[in-house]
Structures are given as C-alpha cells and as structure tokens.
A and B are shown apart, each in its own frame.
Chain A
C-alpha cells in the first residue's frame, strides 16, 4: 500500500489549473469555471435553511428562514434568544417543518439487496431490504451553517420529552429530540467526501468556480456570487468588495452576512434595542393589573415582537435569495456521470438512519467508540479517493488537472503489438504504444487504468520508447520536448480466451486517457465488533448505560 502522497496535506493540493483559473478570474474580473459538469447532486426539492444565531450565546438561535418553496419561506424568530421556552418553541416549529419534509422521503422505497453476515453461519449472504427511492436534502448558505446544523443537532438529541421522562425539569417539545437526531445525522453525513445530504452553497459554488479572491473570502456567499455572476457593468472584484463592505446611511451592511453569525453593527444598533423593547413590554405585561391594561400591553408586546421578526427577516431574506440564486447557477451545469452512484450511497445512509429511528435505537452517542471512529475514518478515506477518481473521470477539466500533476495522461494509440503471457494457458497481453504530450510520473511497472465501458482496464507501464524523451523537465511545468512514446501492456478485461474479446484492446488511432490512480476503491479490512475492542484500545466497552440527557447549567436559565 502506498503510504504517502506528500502533496495531499495542509491544503497543499491546489492544482495548477485551479491556480491558473484564479489568475484568469483576477484578470477578467469574473469567476472562471473549474468544472464542466456538476459534481454534486441537487435535489428537485431541497429544503433550504438559513439560520441566524445570537452573538455571544453558543447554540441560541435568533431565527431562521426555512422551506422548500423559494417564494414562500417560513420565518421563525426567537424574540428573546436567551429564553429557554421561546427557544424550545422555535425548535418545535422547526421540527414541524423539517420532520414532515424528511418523512416525505421515508415511505417511497424500492427493493434492494445488501450483503450481510449471517449471524448463525457467519457467511456473507444477500438480504432483501428497502432502499428509499430518494432522499431529503438540506441546503445551508455556508460552511458555518453546516456547523450550526451539527450544533443544533447536538443540543437537541439528548433532550427528554415528557413522554420519555415525566420527571425531567425542562421537558422538550415532543419532536425536538427527534429533530436533533436527524440534524446530527445530516451533519455527520456531510463529513463524508462527495455526499450530498447536507450541503453549503458556498462550498458547492467554490467547487465549480474559481474566483479572484482567496478561499477565505469565498466563504462569503455574497462576495462569491458577485464574482460568479456580477451585476451588469461591474467586475466581480468591485461587486465582491461592495458585497463585503458597503453600508447604508445607518451603518448597516447592504449585503448581510450569510450567517449564522450576524454583523455586530446590526446586533448593537438594531437588534439589541429591539430585544430590550421586547423585554420591557413583556415585563410590563406581566405587571399589568387589570384586563384592559393587559390588553394594551399585549398589543405593545406583539408590536415589539413584530419588530424583531422584521429585523430577522430583513437579514435572512437576502441570503435566502442568494442561496436560490446559487442553486440556479449550479443547475445550469449538467450532472456528472458518477453523481447518481454517490447519491445512492446518500440514500443508503438516509434509509439506514430511518431504520434506526423506527427501531427505537437511542440517539447517536456523544463520542464515537474506537471501532466506530475507525470505521468512519476508513469510509471517509475511501470516499475521498473515490470522489477524486470519479470527478476526474466525469470531467475533462478535472482530468486535465490530474494530467498536469503527472497523475494521468492522454494520447493517441500509434501502435498495437499482440503478445501473450507465458505459462500453460497463455493470455493476451498486447503491447500498446501511446503518443502523449503529458508527463506522468510512472515508476517501473506502474499500473495505469483506463475506462472501458465504465469499468477500469489495467495496463502496465513498460517503457518510454524514444530517446528524446524527458520524463519531467526540470522546470516541471512545461517545455518543448515534453512527453513522448509510452509503451503499455494491457493486462485485463480481455475475456477468458486466448484471443481478446472484440473491442477490449485499443486500436491504432484511438485517443485514450489513462490514469495512474485507481478508479475503484477496494473495501478495507473488517474491524472487530465494538464488543471485541482489543486491549490496545481500551478493551470492550462493556454494557453501556443509555446516555444521560445534558445536565442543566446556569447558562440554560434566563
């Protein structure tokens, strides 16, 4: 196994083509595409979620716009974010929107097969199971939004409802813990490379376009959109600067940040006074001495609340529109060929969690055990490798970056010589000469792969066939005498006979693209069951008591 690709860490893996695209974006004042197809699934009916949080209060939502209809978002507001009851009311409302949306995907199923280990025989057997025909998709504006989904999930899934525990001091509304489990699932799934259940628009756009600003600045949705789709008569740079900095006469940002954090000027000048008015109105209402007075004061409270709703709406609506605008831009790209396959994995993931909820399993634990953590890491590494290979196979622009990096090469077949393996039953091992201008890094007898009818066909690097060849110019990026004639030996996918099957061997004149990386990922080794955790990792966890709910702290109480 290859242990090290030194270039993959520390964000060092920015391709030469991506750098070139950024330079071109600076020069032309407009973002440049870095993909010719869309590499992620966009649902027909995504649920867009634009949350705002309260400054200085981790996990205290201020409000949100949420919904599947771009013309009719639901506005949820917590007029006093530090009030636990109001927060629960917000979460309950959110659950009433999100859970029916999720449920709408839970019932439409198709039959599928899954490999399982038979508990009695220990053999791998095929089992008929349900697979949800489609899966819900949550879209948030930015990476911080993904983190916020995770945070909300964590804050809710251990809450107890009255039905679960009549003694609980601050019972959560009925469906809130369930929402927490689902948001946790979405948050966790989003850590799997190439998954599409929960996505941030900034990440999606950043995957498909290169702007003339830094990747840190790309996390500002307004600035990112300004580069990709600048208004008439303006360059991306100007529009992006305006999106980031321009303020109105009152000192408020024209393009509010996509959240969940809000602009301090908004917090201080508008939000804080409005919340204070609301608090005062509430105190006054509580102190009302008769019905008439209470009626009046209730009116004042409602007005104060309406004011906060208007403020939250004014800060989330621009982002809401920007998210849909971003989705429109993304939909203009055709979907990549392998996206469907990755989405199927998302559907399995969704179906799996649906089944765990239905089976009454407890919420996801606070911390993964050793085996679960190792399994998750293995899955993510496999998916990362799969994603990198599939994106390159789906998209010539991505493949071009791999070719420039010496990880693939394209060229024309100039010669095919039939040859056979030695041994009792000789198999075809044709030698194929490819003329290429690329400069792949090929070790002795390195394996290379091409896509043959969607399946990888392997070949072995034999030699460079011309004297004038320079495996890699010392300047690494170009030169007059790059590339040359490459001799490869095709080693598989030619059938069982002595003569290769028709179409399985390249022919003279074919234009082919070979990769040095594998197209498909092998499954990793099976890890022990958690009950068999070895002594090096702390031994079996033993019988675990169900996770206790979060204890109530001072900060929980107003």
Chain B
C-alpha cells in the first residue's frame, strides 16, 4: 500500500482542528490565523470554536462579512446548542436579518449593542461592529472570512476585542476598493489590502494553521483546485474516487450538451466549448448554452450518491448553481432560464457565490468571448471560487481561444515595492485550469 492510501482525511482534519482549538483556548498569542481551502469545514470550525469559547466563559463577539453569513452562523450555533443565548446585532434597516431567526427562542436580536450586553455570544457584520462603542472590550473574537475583509474594516473593529481567531480562505477573491489606493501599496497597513495581510505584517509570530481536507470538493476536483490555486499549501479531498456518483435516468440524446453532462458526471469536469468569437459580455449563445445545460441537468433525472447518504438523492434545482463573472451575465442567464421554465436555480457572480455549496455547478468562463484579459477577469480568486463550489461535477461553458487570449495578455500589473506577490498569478492559474479542462472538452456549435 502506498502512503497515499494510508492518508486518513478524518484524523488529519481532527488533528488540525484540535491544534487550532488548543491555540485559541489555551495559547498565549493574541491572534490565531486559520487558512481554509474551499469546503474544508470552516463554518464547522467557527461554530465549534464559538461553543468552546462560550463554554469556557469567555465573552465572544463574532465578526462576519455579510448579513447572510451572520444569519447562517446564528442558525448553525442554535442548531448545535439550542440552550446557548446568542445575540444577533443587526442594522436598523428594514429586513435587517433573516426572519427565520425569530423562531429560535434563545436568539436575541437588536440594533443596539447595549441591549445584547452580557450574552455569551454576539454576532454581527464587520460593517455593523464598526459602529459599536464599548468601555470594556470582548475577551475574544472570531473573525470569519478574514481574507475577504479589508484592512480598514479590521482597523475599525479591532479595538473591540482582546484576542481573536481569524478564519478564511486565502484563495478566494481579494477585497477591493472602488477607488485607487496605489499610494498605500506596500505599507503594512494598506487599507485596501486584506485584514489578514495587515495582521500578519504587524504580528508575524502569530500561530498559523491550515485545514488540510476539503469535504466539499470531490476527489476529481481537489487535486486540480489545490494545484492550480494552492500550490504551496496543498490540500486533499475528504472523499475518494467512487465515493461520489452522479447518474442520470434519461440517457444522452447525443447532443453536445448531453455529452458534456455525461463527461462531467463521469469525470467531475466538463468543458462545453463554443466556436471562437468575440462577443458582448452577455454573449447570447453562451448564455443560452449555460441555460440549456441546466435545463438538461434537471430534465434527465439526475441522482447523486455520496458518502453521507447511500441512497441516491435526486438532483433538484436547489442543488444546481450557475456562476458568472459579471452581474449582467447573471441577469441574462436568469432570464434565459426563466424562458426555459427553470426556476429556483441559484445564478450569481463569483463574489456572491463565495462560501456556497452545490452538487453541480455550471460556469460561464470569465474570459469566454473576450477580446482582452483584464486584471479583473484574470483574478485568481474569481476562477477559484467558480471552480470550487461543487460536490460532484462542474461544467464550464467557454468560447474557444481562451488559451491564445491568455498568451496575448500576460499579466502586466505593476509590481509594487513591499507588497506580497501572490502566487500563483491569475494567468498561471487560468492556464492550469484550462489545460485540465481540455481533457474533458466537448466542442459544440449551437
């Protein structure tokens, strides 16, 4: 038997989690940083750390980045420990939080931090926390999605806590600013950099951990995503080839769309390649192709078998997502799906799909049909988010010629002194993904 076979993902993950909790609960450092690849159990870790900190009697604040993330965390906490009083600090807008929280008896909601004082756990967004003033800081904080938080966002809340656990995925989209911040590039506290980079620049001695196992990504996807986006911090899939199966009751009709679906079901990846062409962003043919793939996925009676449930689970609209780079593309796909009578399929941009999980994803490649490759479209995190949302299979829809496009547009971003150059760059990562997808290519002329 090779050492690979001896790798036990469950115990590797447990070892990592134990070390993290030990440093968090009993360590001396003011901060602990945890890097988590896609689907490595980040939320589970956050919930567990929160419960243990609460058990230890440390007042805890949790900082997440969006209201949806906050509501999700509150629900998870309540599910794990319905007895624990949890405070949900929210904005004073209408619909500031998910009404589902109203059903949880031990969750107290308020727009004023003072009304939640004394609760063992209080959760809110970074934006809301920034407005909170306290005389006595919280003993502990958990900062979720810390790589998507901007340094200035951390600056606004860091005075609220004594110590903190920072959790996030370094491979996802970096935070950004709508105005130029080049004048601060290279400064350790560059306000538009990520919270973690500032934190580590000032506190390099903080313990850093890594979750080694992706429970979401199947064995077919983890090596590609790990190699392409996390070359220096590799991770493994928690499941093996054969643990996850996707099958369809209705056989292929021989069309390109059905063939790419079968290819993806079998190998985990499928590339539906449309003829090369420069198109507007909302490329009508590509949009229709995406919608058609989704329609056929649902029509063909898909069933997913995975380690969690030996019985096949039907592939329903709620288990399928479409990912795009731009909002107008997402809107166009939604409209095309409505025309095909498909509802309840999540269609969104990479930014909004961060942290979400589906059985099958259909991705409109960010560079498809483009005449140029801008930094936005080349951003490593964008492709990483899009290519790592699935538990079973991912179908990429793309115009031919992206390889040439990449070669025509090497990255030319100016290198700023003092900034950490991120590896791999988007160019490299895009090539790696394309090379792999080429093996699962189904050319199609709509």
Identify the A interface with B (CB < 8 A): 1, 3-12, 191, 193, 367-371, 373-374, 376-378, 380-381, 384-385, 405-406, 441, 445, 470-477, 524-525, 527-528, 532-539
Contact = CB atoms under 8 A, between A and B. Distances in A.
B178 A535 contact: no
A470 B327 contact: no
A428 B120 CA distance: 41
B184 A373 contact: yes
A186 B159 CA distance: 33
A532 B137 CA distance: 14
B140 interface: no
B191 A377 contact: yes
11 contacts: A8-B178, A369-B189, A370-B189, A373-B152, A378-B152, A384-B179, A441-B331, A474-B282, A524-B130, A537-B154, A537-B189
B176 A7 contact: no
Given A371-B155, A474-B335, 17 more contacts: A6-B351, A12-B374, A367-B187, A368-B184, A370-B189, A374-B156, A377-B179, A377-B181, A406-B328, A471-B331, A472-B335, A477-B282, A535-B158, A536-B155, A536-B158, A538-B188, A538-B202
Contact of B190 (A1, A10, A373, A535): A373
Given A7-B326, A370-B189, A534 B331 contact: no
Interface string B321-346: 00001111001101110110000000
Contacts, number: 157
A193 to B, nearest CB: 6
A90 to B, nearest CB: 26
Contact of B198 (A4, A7, A472, A536): A536
B383 to A, nearest CB: 13
Interface string B366-390: 0000000011110000000000000
B335 A473 contact: yes
A118 B442 CA distance: 69
A474 B288 contact: yes
A538 B325 contact: no
Contacts of A368: 183-184, 187
B349 A6 contact: yes
A535 B350 contact: no
A191 to B, nearest CB: 7
B15 interface: no
B199 interface: yes
A15 B358 CA distance: 34
Contact of B65 (A3, A10, A12, A528): A3
A377 B152 contact: yes
Given A6-B326, A7-B328, A525-B156, A477 B280 contact: yes
B351 A3 contact: yes
Contacts of A445: 95
B334 A472 contact: yes
Contacts of B191: 370, 373-374, 376-377
B66 interface: yes
A474 B66 contact: no
A32 B194 CA distance: 41
Interface string B136-173: 00000000000010011011101100000000000001
A536 B154 contact: yes
B336 A12 contact: no
A477 B284 CA distance: 10
A536 B178 contact: no
A9 B375 contact: yes
A377 B331 contact: no
B108 interface: no
Contacts of B158: 534-537
A536 B376 contact: no
Contacts of A193: 179
Contact of B328 (A10, A373, A476, A527): A476
A441 B352 CA distance: 16
A103 to B, nearest CB: 28
Contacts of B284: 474-476
Contacts of B178: 5, 8-9, 381, 384-385
A547 B282 CA distance: 53
B220 interface: no
- Which 4 pairs, one residue from A and one from B, show the smallest C-beta to C-beta distance? A4-B351, A476-B282, A525-B130, A10-B376
Contacts of A6: 325-327, 349-351, 376
B202 A537 contact: yes
Nearest to B327: A6
Given A377-B192, A528-B155, A5 B287 contact: no
Interface string B61-73: 0000110000000
B327 A7 contact: yes
B374 A10 contact: yes
Nearest to A538: B202
Interface in B40-62: none
Contacts of A191: 179-180, 183
A525 B131 contact: yes
Which of B95, B127, B180, B335 has the largest count of A CB atoms less than 10 A from its CB?
A: B335
B2 interface: no
A377 B155 contact: no
A143 B81 CA distance: 59
A5 B327 contact: yes
Contact of B339 (A373, A380, A474): A474
Contact of A374 (B152, B282, B375): B152
Contact of B125 (A1, A405, A471): A1
Contacts of B95: 445
A533 to B, nearest CB: 8
Nearest to A370: B189
Contacts of B179: 191, 193, 377, 380-381, 384
B31 interface: yes
A291 B410 CA distance: 66
A207 to B, nearest CB: 16
Nearest to B189: A370
Contacts of A524: 130
Contacts of A535: 30, 158, 202-203
A10 B198 contact: no
B332 A476 contact: yes
A410 B339 CA distance: 25
Interface string B264-286: 00000000000000001110100
Contacts of A536: 31, 154-155, 158, 195, 198-199, 202-203
Given A9-B376, A441-B327, A474 B131 contact: no
Contacts of A3: 65-66, 148, 351
B11 interface: no
B309 interface: no
B205 interface: no
Contacts of A385: 178
Given A7-B327, A377-B181, A537-B202, A527 B334 contact: no
